[in-house]
């Protein structure tokens, strides 16, 4: 009898261990593998630059990234060659990933651990036959995507020569037409190859900067406790404008979420008197943090508004783009409200003293209320050009501007030839003869459709993937819990054995009873 108990006990232990190993392998939080890898590579090691992806965040991270290209490394944490390769991959990832990236927004470098069972299906979709395997392509093509090695026209390509950091960067340089070096440091040798503002297509990258600027603006408002009884109404009005017309869907949603609960989240009596009391994380001195464009924003770098030097462009450029993008989206009947909201918002919440005073004085010069979008859009454009003209002189005399982005009267002839009535007119002239209808048309298209074109493309691709997935779902019944086949078989066998032994033990007990009576 004791042998039966022993066997039962052994099976129970086996069953428990098996369940534990399955649940732990499928429930590894995304960061824990990289934690293990960092610990293994020794104390004092930097945290990883490459982004850890798994089946749950793969699509969303690649869909959201502003980067033009992505590299996905498929590896297995038990593979010694992968462990040795890690330092090479990280050397290159340092250049492209993170807030301190040397060349941000160009390539997103990621990795997927195929030895983690939750990723098995994902790795299968990319026909991973060896570790490490590196793939290259536009991030959106990875979303819901696959690679089978057969179709020659695929936008995703395996990287066939990236075995060392040098060779990988050489391969990347070949694709980008760049000459990045592993020794590059931030703002040194910066080629800004994707930041040519005179290229009309570049504005599509500015939507990320509008999100960045929106998020920073609201973080500043909280950090400096700028919500006061006399400023609350302005903030609420500007947020209403954002809910209706912000070019980024996630900023519209974020503003709406906050606006609905504004009084509960930011009660006027909750501000700490002492600056030190300001908390961090999701609370600022007892009031909730904004996260106005979602938790992923701000990302810590600029795309369209990236300067060639530290501390040039960035936030104020992003803010201008946000204001222009709001202006072209309002309806005629909203134009006066949008004008006053913009003027009051800048006046009360833009902490550059000279900027806000100067902007407000331009606002005050407007004597007749706006009755249509066109007038408001053209007013903002003129006001911005007035600032440009003023700064042209200041920056050239003090040398404070960005040498690669000198102030100009905008738009240039190259950007909008039709905006100039006289094609022979000098762009530098102080009194350009503008064709205002053409300027309005240009601004509407530039800050309207073009600004959000990357998002629109991504949304279309995503909708297509969702449709495909939905039709697949109709064909295949889905399992809520996906357990690997081998493990499922082992559980089934163990359960049967356990059941059979329990049955055998019960019948032995029964057979004993009659003898006792």
Positions in the binding site for ligand FAD (CB under 6 A): 197, 305, 313, 316-317, 319-321, 324, 346, 354-355, 358-359, 381, 384-385, 387-388, 391, 402, 405, 410
Residue number, 120 or 202, with CB nearest to ligand FAD: 202
Q: How far apart are CA 177 and CA 163, in angstroms?
A: 20
In angstroms, give the least distance from the CB of 231 to ligand FAD. 17
Q: Which of 82, 114, 123, 416 is catalytic?
A: 82
In angstroms, give the least distance from the CB of 376 to ligand FAD. 13
Residue number, 296 or 402, with CB nearest to ligand FAD: 402
Q: Which among 39, 37, 126, 117 has a CA at the least distance from the CA of 85? A: 37
- Helices 206-223 and 335-349: crossing angle in degrees, nearest 10, is 50
Which residues fall within 8 angstroms of residue 470, CB to CB, at 6 or more apart?
none
Q: How far apart are CA 259 and CA 340, in angstroms?
A: 19
In angstroms, give the least distance from the CB of 315 to ligand FAD. 8
Residue number, 319 or 330, with CB nearest to ligand FAD: 319
In angstroms, give the least distance from the CB of 114 to ligand FAD. 43
* Residue 129 vs residues 55, 123, 155: alpha-carbon distances, Å: 18, 9, 19
Q: How far apart are CA 34 and CA 39, in angstroms?
A: 8
In angstroms, give the least distance from the CB of 410 to ligand FAD. 3
Helix (H, G, I), strand (E, B) or coil at 166: helix
Q: What is the DSSP letter of 345?
A: H
Residue 114 among the catalytic residues: no
Q: How far apart are CA 503 and CA 273, in angstroms?
A: 72
For 46, phi then psi, to 5°, come to: -75, 155
Residue number, 123 or 303, with CB nearest to ligand FAD: 303
- Count H helices, E strands: the chain? 18, 7
DSSP code string of 174-218 = HHHT----TT--TTSS---TT--TTSGGGGGGHHHHHHHHHHHHH
Residue number, 264 or 354, with CB nearest to ligand FAD: 354
In angstroms, give the least distance from the CB of 333 to ligand FAD. 23
Residue number, 173 or 389, with CB nearest to ligand FAD: 389
Which residues fall within 8 angstroms of residue 468, CB to CB, at 6 or more apart?
144
Which residues make beta-bridge pairs with 230? none
Element (H, E) at 288: strand 287-288
* Residue 156 vs residues 56, 85, 126: alpha-carbon distances, Å: 20, 22, 10
Residue 79 among the catalytic residues: yes
Q: How far apart are CA 461 and CA 475, in angstroms?
A: 21
- Helices 335-349 and 373-398: crossing angle in degrees, nearest 10, is 30
In angstroms, give the least distance from the CB of 320 to ligand FAD. 4
In angstroms, give the least distance from the CB of 324 to ligand FAD. 5
Residue number, 169 or 319, with CB nearest to ligand FAD: 319
Residue number, 176 or 387, with CB nearest to ligand FAD: 387
- Which residues form the catalytic set? 79, 82
């Amino acid at each position: 009898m004791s042998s039966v108990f022993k066997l039962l006990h052994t099976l129970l232990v086996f069953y428990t261990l098996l369940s534990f190993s399955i649940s732990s392998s499928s429930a590894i939080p995304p960061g824990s593998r990289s934690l293990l890898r960092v610990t293994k590579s020794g104390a004092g090691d930097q945290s990883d630059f490459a982004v850890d992806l798994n089946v749950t965040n793969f699509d969303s991270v690649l869909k959201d990234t502003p980067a033009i290209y992505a590299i996905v490394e498929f590896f297995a944490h038990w593979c010694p060659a992968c462990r040795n390769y890690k330092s090479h991959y990280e050397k290159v990832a340092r250049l492209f990933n993170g807030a301190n990236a040397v060349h941000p927004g160009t390539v997103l470098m990621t990795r997927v651990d195929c030895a983690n069972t939750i990723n098995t299906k994902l790795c299968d979709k990319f026909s991973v036959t060896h570790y490490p395997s590196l793939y290259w392509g536009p991030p959106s093509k990875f979303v819901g995507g696959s690679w089978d090695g057969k179709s020659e026209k695929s936008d995703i390509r395996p990287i066939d020569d990236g075995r060392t950091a040098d060779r990988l960067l050489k391969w990347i340089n070949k694709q980008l037409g760049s000459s990045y070096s592993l020794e590059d440091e931030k703002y040194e040798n910066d080629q800004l190859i994707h930041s040519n503002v005179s290229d009309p297509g570049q504005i599509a990258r500015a939507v990320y900067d509008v999100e960045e600027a929106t998020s920073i603006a609201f973080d500043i408002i909280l950090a400096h406790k700028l919500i006061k009884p006399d400023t609350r109404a302005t903030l609420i009005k500007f947020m209403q404008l954002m809910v209706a017309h912000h070019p980024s869907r996630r900023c519209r949603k974020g503003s709406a979420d906050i606006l609905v609960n504004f009084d509960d989240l930011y009660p006027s009596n909750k501000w700490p008197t002492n600056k030190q009391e300001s908390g961090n994380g999701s609370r600022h001195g007892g009031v909730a943090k904004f996260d106005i464009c979602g938790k992923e924003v701000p990302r810590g770098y600029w795309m369209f508004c990236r300067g060639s030097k530290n501390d040039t462009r960035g936030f104020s450029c992003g803010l201008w783009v946000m204001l222009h993008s709001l202006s072209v989206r309002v309806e005629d009947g909203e134009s006066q409200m949008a004008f006053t909201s913009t003027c009051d918002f800048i006046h009360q919440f833009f902490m550059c003293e000279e900027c806000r005073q100067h902007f407000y004085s331009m606002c005050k010069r407007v004597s007749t209320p706006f009755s249509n979008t066109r007038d408001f859009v053209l007013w903002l454009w003129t006001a911005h050009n007035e600032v440009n003209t003023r700064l042209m002189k200041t920056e050239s005399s003090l040398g404070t501007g960005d040498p690669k982005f000198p102030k100009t009267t905008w738009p240039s002839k190259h950007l909008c030839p039709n905006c100039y009535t006289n094609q022979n007119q000098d762009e530098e002239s102080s009194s350009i003869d503008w064709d205002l209808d053409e300027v309005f048309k240009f601004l509407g298209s530039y800050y309207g459709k073009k600004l959000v074109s990357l998002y629109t493309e991504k949304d279309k691709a995503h909708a297509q993937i969702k449709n495909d997935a939905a039709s697949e779902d109709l064909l295949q019944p889905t399992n809520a819990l996906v357990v690997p086949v081998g493990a499922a078989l082992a559980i089934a066998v163990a359960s049967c054995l356990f059941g059979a032994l329990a049955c055998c033990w019960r019948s032995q007990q029964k057979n004993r009873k009659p003898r006792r009576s």
